[in-house]
Amino acid sequence: MGKLHDIFQEYKIRPIKSLGQNFLIDGAVLQKIADAGNISSNDIAVEIGAGMGGLTTELAKRAERVLAVEIDTKLFGYLKNLFGNSENVKILNADIMKISLSDEIAALSWDTGDPIKVIANLPYYITTPVLMRMLEKNYKIKIMVLMMQKEVADRILAAPGTKTYGALTVAAGYYCSVRKITDVPPHCFVPQPGVTSSVLRFDVYEKPQVKLLDRDFFFRTVRAAFNQRRKTLLNALSNSENFNNSKEEIRNILSNEGIEENRRGETLSILQFANLSNSLFLNKH
Ligand code: SAM
């Protein structure tokens, strides 16, 4: 810890709260995160928010190609010094929400078809947008190991019928199987965050487990069901601007799917959401 503060002084770095700069200093946790990705030498490891390079260093021990993205120019300067002109670690000064990972990997001539693994201690202010971007952009990622606030991890892992089950759970579960690696207490970071964190591993399905006629329509159905959590599914879907079917039509669609009309959206499994959205899609006018 002393060492980190010395580097802060030398490089005139003051951790920026709004960029989620809480640096992980616990060596055992850093190793655990890197190990959880089962990285082999031909994998391409991508890190989002390299910070002070603690995790980057662990990734570089395991993968021959590491692409580390960092938005903060001061930290980028430090990382450039740390990794020098290393052939296997490339540091990119960019906003992960504004770049195409595929283009960046191609620019390095790393688009060899080898597995891409995203390993990151995410900046908490954009956890969900970053996660959704990684899943939706078709980057051909095989595994992600991501640290986030425990509260968000709990929502991702929630079971149907529980309070925390929601659109984020369904989205993650549509693309991946997800499991928890570990919880990480605040004292493992400098500066310490106000909350406990969790590390999750996402194994991205090669093919989604459920068949959808229209992916956007599926997510619109899911959002409509969760937007009005306290309403029955029949009312939430009939009230939604997304669907122009009459209440009677929606009642029939639910009945055909074997879903009782007074159930709430939060009790539906991903498969039930898929069947329901396919049926609504076929009956839209
Ligand atoms: N990887 C380091 C570690 O484990 O200690 C730092 C993790 S820190 C929680 C998050 C890092 O993401 C910060 O260094 C922050 O500057 C960076 N960051 C924040 N927003 C970003 C963005 N949009 N694109 C890329 N990096 C970002």
Which residue has the CA at smallest separation from atom 18 of ligand 1?
49
Separation of alpha carbons 268 and 259, rounded Å: 9
**Mind listing the pLDDT tens digit for each residue in 53-74?**
999 999 999 999 999 999 999 9
Separation of alpha carbons 123 and 193, rounded Å: 11
CATH superfamily assigned to domain 215-282: rRNA adenine dimethylase, C-terminal domain (1.10.8.100)
Separation of alpha carbons 265 and 151, rounded Å: 21
**Mind listing the pLDDT tens digit for each residue in 165-212?**
999 999 999 999 999 999 999 999 999 999 999 999 999 999 999 999
Measure CA 220 to chain center.
19
pLDDT of residue 153: 98
Residues with CB under 6 A from ligand 1: 19-24, 48-52, 54-55, 69-72, 75, 95-97, 121, 123, 126
Which DSSP string corresponds to 211-242? Answer: --S-HHHHHHHHHHHHHTTTS-HHHHHHH-TT
Query: pTM of the full predicted structure?
Result: 0.95
The band of 27, judged by pLDDT with boundaries at 50, 70 and 90, is very high
Separation of alpha carbons 283 and 285, rounded Å: 7
Range of weakest confidence among 106-110, 126-130, 135-139, 197-201: 135-139
Helix axes 215-227, 167-175, angle to 10 degrees: 150
Q: Which residue is associated with the tokens 């990151």? A: 120
Q: 285 or 131: whose pLDDT is higher?
A: 131
Architecture of the domain whose range is 2-204: 3-Layer(aba) Sandwich (3.40)
Separation of alpha carbons 169 and 32, rounded Å: 24
Pocket test for ligand 1, best of 3, 16, 21 (most atoms within 8 A of CB): 21
Whether 213 has a pLDDT exceeding 90, the answer reads yes
- 64, 41 contact by CB (below 8 A): yes
Separation of alpha carbons 51 and 218, rounded Å: 36
Q: Which residue is associated with the tokens 């939706």? A: 136
Separation of alpha carbons 264 and 236, rounded Å: 9
Pocket test for ligand 1, best of 32, 89, 121 (most atoms within 8 A of CB): 121
Mean pLDDT of 125-133: 96
Arithmetic mean of pLDDT over the chain: 95
pLDDT of residue 15: 93
Mean pLDDT of 227-236: 90
Which residue has the CA at smallest separation from atom 8 of ligand 1?
21
Peptide bond into 185 cis (omega under 30): no
User: Residue 236 C-alpha to ligand 1 middle, in angstroms?
Assistant: 38
The band of 230, judged by pLDDT with boundaries at 50, 70 and 90, is confident
HSE, side-chain direction, 13 A CA sphere, residue 177: 5
**Residue ranges per structural domain of the chain:** 2-204, 215-282
DSSP assignment letter at 198: E
